[in-house]
Amino acid sequence: MHNSFAASITTAMKIRIFIISLLLTCFSAITYAQPRAYSLSDCIARALENNLQVRQAGLSTEVKQVNREQAVAMRFPTLDATARQNFSWSDQQNPDGSYVFTGSNGNSVSLNSGLVLFNGFRNENTIKQAELEYNSARFDVETMRENISLQVLGSYLQVLYAGELVTNSRNQLLSTGSQLGLAKERLELRVISQADYLQVKAQEASEKLTLANAEKQLQLSRLNLMQLLELPVNDTFAIVTPDFSNAGRQLLTTNAAGVFQTALGYKPEVKSAALQKQIAAYDIEIAKGGYLPSLSLTAGLGTSYNSLAENLKFASQLDHNLTPTLGLTLSIPVFQQKQVKTQVSLARINAASANLAEQTALNQLRKSVETAWADVVSAEKELDAGTGQYEAIQASFEVAKERFNLGVINSVDFLYEKTNLINAESQLLQARYNLIFSYKVLDFYQGKPLEL
């Protein structure tokens, strides 16, 4: 009896443990299956990590790093080791006049070193130039990263905007559906005409089309963002929706000129252009080095062994045949078919081109900042006007809605007010997102992080 009771308790505990384990497994599976919502920072980080252009630019920077190390290594001497084994045969005449075909072998080893003492400062200028090229490549990568981050910001806000359009369109369609039901009741009671009812029904059909277009725009916006992130297209992709309820005008503490001066200290494209001008200047100095003489030092140490020297052993021959050498070579250019002069002329042309490129980068940055500033001012005015328009039209619509419910006005007048409200709401939504994007672009030129 006691054993049977204990067995029953043990079985019940096993069943309970199994059920709890099963529930935990199901909960974990459900939690794991939930799609991850990407924030703006997540999207930017993934885009920068997976973008092939950024990765390619990173490889170019590594190439510049290798070239810089090679340029520094030109300061050091070279050292070569050589070992040689010789075999030779010849007819040797004996005292009796006969010939004997005999052979011999020999060994030789040597060490040779060379060092450039002076070559018109070309090595020193090449090292400095390689350092600048490496830093310029890094700034080019940063420029590319910033451009992609801006693209992600624009696409992210476009998805949010399209999502709100879909929500508003659905709400409008639900409202029109309720009004259509009310219109049908009035039609059955012969309070309104068939034409009034059909007007409301046509409005519902029009809003269904508007909803379909909004959903299509949302799908395309999501597709564009996923492609920027190098994500396969899927239906589970979702982004975090920030709280824009308090989004409005911000206090601007500087003007376009002030933003431009700030951007000069942050923007990598300007720094890269300045370095490119310095790189071109070093090209001139390197080319001018061809006019100057070069001086190099050579040193060597060699020894040999030959089997014909039968009286000397191998080690003894190596010792007696030890031959150290030391030499200086001075090379003075006399006539080089205008090669050096041509290189200097081309380098000066490239330097002038680099100077223009730097000025172009500065002008482009100034124009971009001025455009961003103008976009902010325009977006602020658009939001103010859109807010005032929406509030006025919303108040007018509430009055029209009440009068329509009371049967004071017909469906044509009511739908006219509702259409105006839909348009005003869409314009206000677009103005709000335009202002958010404009503020973020202006922050971008001031070196502030892209955050929502």
pLDDT beyond 90 at 358: yes
The confidence score (pLDDT) of residue 18 equals 53
- pLDDT band at residue 180 under the 50/70/90 scheme: confident
- pLDDT band at residue 369 under the 50/70/90 scheme: very high
**Average pLDDT, stretch 155-182?**
91
The confidence score (pLDDT) of residue 25 equals 53
| Cα–Cα dist 220/218, whole Å | 5
**Average pLDDT, stretch 372-380?**
94
The confidence score (pLDDT) of residue 16 equals 58
The confidence score (pLDDT) of residue 324 equals 92
| Cα–Cα dist 288/126, whole Å | 12
Each residue's pLDDT tens digit, 340-352: 999 999 999 999 9
The confidence score (pLDDT) of residue 32 equals 41
Range from 149-163, 399-413, 416-430 carrying the lowest mean pLDDT: 399-413
pLDDT beyond 50 at 158: yes
Pairing verdict, β 99-118 and 294-306: antiparallel
pLDDT beyond 90 at 435: yes
Residue 24 vs residue 451, higher pLDDT: 451
The confidence score (pLDDT) of residue 299 equals 94
**Average pLDDT, stretch 4-27?**
53
H/E stretch holding 49 reads: helix 40-50
- pLDDT band at residue 179 under the 50/70/90 scheme: confident
**Average pLDDT, stretch 295-318?**
82
The b/e string for 348-362 (b: 16+ C-beta within 10 A; e otherwise) is eebbeebeeebeebb
**Average pLDDT, stretch 420-441?**
92
User: Chain centroid to CA 110: how far?
Assistant: 53
The confidence score (pLDDT) of residue 46 equals 94
DSSP code of residue 409 = S
**Average pLDDT, stretch 382-390?**
93
Q: Which of 322, 315, 329 is nearest to 111 (CA)?
A: 322
- pLDDT band at residue 396 under the 50/70/90 scheme: very high
Residue 63 neighbours by CB under 8 Å, 6+ apart: 137
The confidence score (pLDDT) of residue 96 equals 75
| Cα–Cα dist 127/253, whole Å | 44
Tokens representing residue 162 in the block: 């399209």
- pLDDT band at residue 427 under the 50/70/90 scheme: very high
| Cα–Cα dist 321/314, whole Å | 11
In angstroms, the Cα distances linking 56 to 26, 65, 232, 378 are 43, 14, 21, 38
pLDDT averaged over the chain? 87
Each residue's pLDDT tens digit, 82-98: 999 888 777 776 777 77
The confidence score (pLDDT) of residue 1 equals 44
**Average pLDDT, stretch 183-207?**
87
Each residue's pLDDT tens digit, 20-70: 555 555 444 444 445 678 999 999 999 999 999 999 999 999 999 999 999
Domains and CATH numbers, the chain: 39-76+121-292+334-445 (1.20.1600.10), 80-118+293-332 (2.20.200)
Which of 11-20, 56-65, 253-262, 311-320: highest mean pLDDT? 56-65
Which pTM value belongs to this model? Answer: 0.81
Cα-Cα-Cα-Cα dihedral of 404, 405, 408, 412, to 10°?
20
The confidence score (pLDDT) of residue 310 equals 65
Amino acid residing at 216:
K
Each residue's pLDDT tens digit, 216-248: 999 999 999 999 999 998 889 999 998 877 766
| Cα–Cα dist 62/69, whole Å | 11
Q: Which of 354, 402, 430, 331 is nearest to 132 (CA)?
A: 354
The confidence score (pLDDT) of residue 348 equals 97
pLDDT beyond 60 at 404: yes
The confidence score (pLDDT) of residue 36 equals 76
